[in-house]
Amino acid sequence: MNKILIILSIVISSLLASGNLYSNNQARALYFTIDLKKNVGSTTWIYIQKGFEEARKANANTIVIEMNTYGGEVSYADSIRTKILNSDIPVIVFIDNNAASAGALISIACDKIYMSQAATIGAASVVDQTGQKLPDKYQSYMRATMRATAEAHGKDTVVTGNDTVVKWKRDPLIAEAMVDERTVVPNVADSGKILTFTTQEALKYGYCDGTAENIREIIKKESGNQPYEIVKFKPTAWDNIKGFLMSPIFQGILIMLIIGGIYFELQSPGIGFALGVAITAAVLYFAPLYIDGLAANWEIILFVVGLILIGLEIFVVPGFGITGISGIFLVVSGLILSLLNNVNFDFKPIHPADSSKAILTVIGGLTLGFGLIIYLSNKIGSKGLFKKLALETTLENKEGYIGVPTEGVNIVGKKGIAYTVLRPSGKVKVDEKVYDAVSVNGVFIEKGTQIIVVRYETGQVYVESAE
């Protein structure tokens, strides 16, 4: 009898514990969703970074990326791909409509791919802003990246009767065919066209794990009837602003304004509009990078010291030497290093694509800056808005505009004394006033000798000995 009571107690306790378990929100499967419905770039990269961090803090069981994109920048797509492949939390992508180009790369990196009935995935060739394919070296990099991403999911062992076949979960050759039309995949892609899958084709060839029309349908297929909770990542206004400011195109424009503003400020005395533009552009360039942890104090200091050295080269040190070269090197280094996610002088974690992007952004900005200088130098004072930025009036001598002092004209023919030794230049005293003077024909004149002013030209008094 006692044994029966003990068993009943254990069963009741287990049931109560089970009830408490399901009443606890922590026991519910937490699905954290992130929208990726823009062109892949700096803003979407910020979304992914912050979204993954919030998912980790919330102890999410699964991250679901809801995707609808035609592509974007390869460097950011590669960063997102790497983030997904290294994630401890399983990642599912739901392709609501399009996963083209960079979107295809990101999708293939996810642990599972779900697609709506009318969705597509593929067409991952690297193109420029006009849609034209870039040279093969860019395509080669993308081909390898797509293959490596597909291979990262490993292989499956399929047993059919007495036959055992080991095959890729996602065929790397299919991923490559999405980049290069020359890649032939038997019975899949042999028409000389870049590969793009519909939902049914993706299901057939292992590039889709299921169909769904919304995220809740995906969760139901993944968790059955188990209780779950959905948390959606909500980007802030600052996330969008920072994403815009950290766009390589906008950063290049800011560098252009920094260089152009400094140049035009040096061409005019005082502090004016050009310097204000340069300072504003520098703040907009460094501020989001500093807040995001990319630009360290010492990297910004490099940039400032470089500007100081360039200023010294222009105003203090004659010629163009080590000071100016060092200043230019430090300015460029500060701009580039601020874009890299290095820790002090440790650059091992930096991906080559990130380094290339940073260098190209800075060089592009500098090139635009020098182009702006040349363009505005030709336009200022000529027409339009720039006409008001320069003085057009010609100051003619016949109208009384003289560029040198004229006081020396009044002492021509007068006598005085050599106030210092003239060898042949020195000082003379005429009518109790001292003038800089040069002896005629380079003759030396001793101090105290009586002199006569013979002529005055281009602001210079010419004298000879009156003895």
Domains: count for the chain: 3
Examine the domain organization and report whether 168 and 106 are in the same domain. Answer: yes
SS3 assignment, position 435:
strand
Q: How far does the chain reach from its first CA to its final CA, in angstroms? A: 147
Q: What's the pLDDT at 21? A: 36
Tokens found for residue 80: 């997102």
SS3 assignment, position 73:
coil
Examine the domain organization and report whether 316 and 376 are in the same domain. Answer: yes
Return left, alpha or beta for 431; rule: phi > 0 is left, psi -120 to 50 is alpha, else beta.
Answer: left
Residue of 406, 143, 159, 372 whose CA lies nearest to 277: 372
Q: What's the pLDDT at 307? A: 83
Per DSSP, what are the bridge partners of residue 439?
463
Question: What residue numbers bound the domain in which 217 lies?
Answer: 20-236
What is the rounded CA–CA span in Å between residue 145 and residue 162? 36
Examine the domain organization and report whether 95 and 185 are in the same domain. Answer: yes
SS3 assignment, position 157:
strand
Examine the domain organization and report whether 91 and 152 are in the same domain. Answer: yes
CATH number assigned to the domain comprising residue 94 = 3.90.226.10
Residue with tokens 């310097």, as numbered in its chain: 275
User: Does pTM surpass 0.75?
Assistant: no
Question: Residue 132 carries which DSSP code?
Answer: P
Examine the domain organization and report whether 324 and 353 are in the same domain. Answer: yes
Examine the domain organization and report whether 26 and 73 are in the same domain. Answer: yes
Per DSSP, what are the bridge partners of residue 30?
229
Final residue of a domain: which of 211, 236, 261? Answer: 236
Question: Residue 395 carries which DSSP code?
Answer: -
CATH number assigned to the domain comprising residue 452 = 2.40.50.140
**What is the four-CA torsion angle of 406, 409, 415, 421, rounded to 10 degrees?**
50
Burial of 438 (0-12, 13-18, 19+ CB in 10 A): middle
What is the rounded CA–CA span in Å between residue 107 and residue 235? 21
Q: Are strands 62-69 and 29-36 parallel, antiparallel or unpaired?
A: parallel
Residue of 66, 82, 107 whose CA lies nearest to 196: 107
What residue type is 108 in one-letter code? I
Is the residue at 5 inside a domain?
Answer: no
- 219-233: burial string, b at 16+ Cβ within 10 Å, e else: beebeeeeebeeeeb
Q: Could you list the pLDDT tens digit for every one of the 467 residues in the chain?
A: 555 545 455 544 544 444 433 344 446 899 999 999 989 988 999 999 999 999 999 999 999 999 999 988 888 899 899 999 999 999 999 999 999 999 999 999 999 999 999 999 999 888 877 778 888 888 888 999 999 999 999 988 777 667 777 889 999 999 999 998 888 888 887 767 889 999 999 999 999 999 999 999 999 999 888 899 999 999 988 888 888 887 878 888 888 888 888 777 776 655 567 778 888 888 888 888 887 777 788 888 888 888 888 777 766 765 567 887 888 888 888 888 887 777 677 767 676 767 777 788 788 877 877 777 777 666 655 555 455 555 555 555 555 555 556 666 788 888 999 999 888 888 999 988 888 889 888 888 899 999 999 888 877 889 998 87
What residue type is 352 in one-letter code? P
What is the rounded CA–CA span in Å between residue 296 and residue 274? 27
Per DSSP, what are the bridge partners of residue 100?
122
Examine the domain organization and report whether 215 and 291 are in the same domain. Answer: no
